[in-house]
Structure 1
Amino acid sequence: MISKDIVLGLFFLFQTGLGVLGNSFLLGLYTIPIFTGTRMRPINMLLTHLAFVNNLVLLSKGIPHTMSALGLTNFLDDVGCKLIFYFHKVARDLSLCTTCLLSSFQVITLSPGNFWWAKLKAKSSKCIARLFLLFWTFHLLRNGMNLALMKGPLGNKNITEEQDYIYCAVLFPTSLIIAVHILIVFLPDLLCIGIMLGASGYMVFFLYRHHQRVQYIHSNSLTPNISPKTRVTQTILLLVILFVSFNSLNSILMLCIQNGRCSWQIHTSAFLASCFPACSSFILIVSDSRVYNNFLALREKMIQLRCNLGNSPKTHQND
């Protein structure tokens, strides 16, 4: 009989592997213009960065939890725990900022084409590259506190000043560190979530107006078509909803974990932290018309190649 730890480890392995596969596919899809010499669209720059940081989130969270669920203990020392949690936190914060920037960019795209919006849209590619550099610098610096708080696993040691997270432990911060942590960590996150919610409200309003137009066109007996702009807006709105939902549930669960160690809560938190990075890639793949068109083109080529291979022996016999 297979134990629950093996099932849990295989589940984390499946979630991580599937998510990394989807994000890697997106990285290859969106970086093709770089090798063909064409200019990358600003939204593709955002999606490429989102896929990259989501891969970092999955690898830094999924692999350690898979190993711990499969029964491996003490596979990380103090330095390993510090680096794993540090890069996971940096990647998670960058995923938040990129999703926020993606929703904001879509609002700019949907806004009326006056002079200031048009000027901002024209410089969007340069602005996005600079924002990426700013985001990386800011989050690498602000998460330096995690390097001091994280330690190796406690094992059987009973240390009241530390919280055990199965394969690593974290020191309980003092009241001063908690205040600084709230100021540096939670306020920027709340700001990003507020921007995403505001942008989501605007996108819902845009989709509502578009739905009214579609109903008017449909009443005139014309075939309504979903525009590419509307399809992209629906996809980004779904990504924002998923990000806010999964991270809100994870934040509530993390507050419960602070009151006492429970393995199922820690594993559930790891699952919730990896849900958005794993699911978002497949949402983008399904919503991208290029994937479907390339699949149809590949299918037609395979059918044509099969027909050519089937006809070649007949031609040889007739000769």
Structure 2
Amino acid sequence: MVVGKATFIKIENVLSDRMASRNLAIAIIFLSQTIAGILGNFSLLHHYVFHFHTEGRLRPRELILMHLTVANSLVILSNGVPQTLAALGLKYFFSEIGCKFILYLQRVGRGMSIGSTCLLSVFQTITISPMNSCWKDLKVRALKYVDFFISLCWIQYMSVNLIFPAYVFYVSSKWHMKNITKKLDLGYCLSIDNETVTVSIYAALIVVPEVSLSGLMIWTSGCMVFILHRHKQRVQHIHSTNVSRRPSAESRATQSILVLVITFVSFYLLSSIFHACIALTYNPSWWLVKTTEVISVCFPVVSPFLLMRQDSTVPTLCFSWIRNTKSPNLTRKNVN
């Protein structure tokens, strides 16, 4: 009995050490994602706000990107921060209202990320389309209604996601979980499937709009590739040997948006597959849940750095405001 008890304690200690190691590893991953994502998105957001302050306006593409950075920041803060704290040992620290609010922020941020990226793709396709194309009538209208469509996206996702969390029940302590067959342990919250959410409601409110917008993004991306290819072929006949063949600013902007859209669709499809696995699994494993959460934060973290790489005017550090705040004075001196 003594040997058996000692062996049991040894095994328990080994398992405890392994759990501590995996929790520390996942905490480092989430913390790294959170820090990098916040630095990148806040740097980009500051750039657009500063540009609006100095110029008095933003171009439609910059306006859409500014709202995209806000949506990305919501996803990172509502996902990365709680997951990091939970992995470091602070478990189930949200009340039921807190859990619903965090879920609400996650879904609004995710929805606006999809909506903003889709709007950006559609707008750029309309912008670069030739005057004899089917997009010609939308060229002028697109410039006028960008603000309206961005506001509509925010209103839609904020309204829809106010309805959806009402069907989900969250608890903040494990003793409520007795006799519950299907649950999802998020670390900071425990989610119970109380069977009030039907597949049709979830599909109508969440899945169908997301899939439709993703399909629209893929289609407009194909249109952009086709338009750029046609333009390149046409320009090759016009260019002389003395003319620089450097891509135009509009072509570079289109290429950066294409990279952004392709990255988004790739991460979105991967995230959707993992979310589907969780939805179809009773009591999904720790690794499946954490992997899904890590993937869901990848695009908000990566996207600002993709934009910075394509646009040299965007600052690469979050504290570049020091340089920017000094630049107007320097500009005035040079003018004088």
TM-score (norm 1): 0.84
Query: Could you tell me how far 1:288 is from its partner in structure 2?
Result: 0.9
Is 1:291 aligned to residue 281 of structure 2? no
Tell me how far apart the structure 2 counterparts of residues 46 and 280 of structure 1 sit (CA, whole Å): 13
Which residue of structure 2 aligns with residue 48 of structure 1? 66
Is 1:208 aligned to residue 229 of structure 2? yes
Query: Could you tell me how far 1:210 is from its partner in structure 2?
Result: 4.0
Q: Do the aligned residues in 2 keep the contact of 1:19 with 1:58 (CA within 8 Å)?
A: yes
Is 1:152 aligned to residue 175 of structure 2? no
Tell me how far apart the structure 2 counterparts of residues 142 and 225 of structure 1 sit (CA, whole Å): 45
Q: Aligned to 1:128, which of 131, 146, 160?
A: 146
Query: Could you tell me how far 1:256 is from its partner in structure 2?
Result: 1.6
Query: In the TM superposition, what whole-angstrom CA distance separates every residue of 1:245-294 from its partner, at most 9, and x where no partner exists?
Result: 11111111112223132111111111111110010000111111323899
Q: Do the aligned residues in 2 keep the contact of 1:163 with 1:261 (CA within 8 Å)?
A: yes
Query: Could you tell me how far 1:216 is from its partner in structure 2?
Result: 5.5
Aligned pairs (5 A) from 1:1-319:
3-113=21-131, 120-143=138-161, 144-153=163-172, 155=174, 157-158=177-178, 159-172=180-193, 174=195, 177-213=198-234, 220=241, 223-258=244-279, 259=281, 260-291=283-314
Tell me how far apart the structure 2 counterparts of residues 111 and 262 of structure 1 sit (CA, whole Å): 48
SS of aligned partner of 2:187: coil
Tell me how far apart the structure 1 counterparts of residues 23 and 185 of structure 2 sit (CA, whole Å): 18
Tell me how far apart the structure 1 counterparts of residues 133 and 236 of structure 2 sit (CA, whole Å): 31
Q: Do the aligned residues in 2 keep the contact of 1:217 with 1:223 (CA within 8 Å)?
A: no
Tell me how far apart the structure 2 counterparts of residues 176 and 58 of structure 1 sit (CA, whole Å): 26
Tell me how far apart the structure 1 counterparts of residues 213 and 158 of structure 2 sit (CA, whole Å): 17
Q: Do the aligned residues in 2 keep the contact of 1:253 with 1:269 (CA within 8 Å)?
A: yes
> Residue type of the partner of 1:75?
F
Cα 1:175–1:224 change in 2 (3 A) is same
> Residue type of the partner of 1:243?
F
The alignment of Structure 1 onto Structure 2 pairs a total of residues equal to 299
* Gapped regions of structure 2 (runs ≥ 5): 1-16, 327-336
Considering only aligned residues, what root-mean-square deviation do their CA atoms show, in Å? 3.0
Runs of 4+ in 1 over 3 A off after TM superposition: 114-126, 173-176, 210-223, 291-295
Tell me how far apart the structure 2 counterparts of residues 292 and 174 of structure 1 sit (CA, whole Å): 48
Tell me how far apart the structure 1 counterparts of residues 192 and 70 of structure 2 sit (CA, whole Å): 30
Query: In the TM superposition, what whole-angstrom CA distance separates every residue of 1:179-232 from its partner, at most 9, and x where no partner exists?
Result: 121122111111101110110111111232344456667895754211111111
Query: In the TM superposition, what whole-angstrom CA distance separates every residue of 1:48-93 from its partner, at most 9, and x where no partner exists?
Result: 0001110011100100110111111121111111000111101100
Identify the structure with bigger relative contact order (alpha carbons < 8 Å, sequence gap 6+): 2
> Residue type of the partner of 2:164?
M
* Gapped regions of structure 1 (runs ≥ 5): 302-319
Query: Could you tell me how far 1:100 is from its partner in structure 2?
Result: 0.3
Larger displacement relative to structure 2 (140-149 or 100-109): 140-149
Give the fraction of aligned pairs with identical amino acids, expressed as a percent.
38
Cα 1:40–1:172 change in 2 (3 A) is same
> Residue type of the partner of 2:276?
L
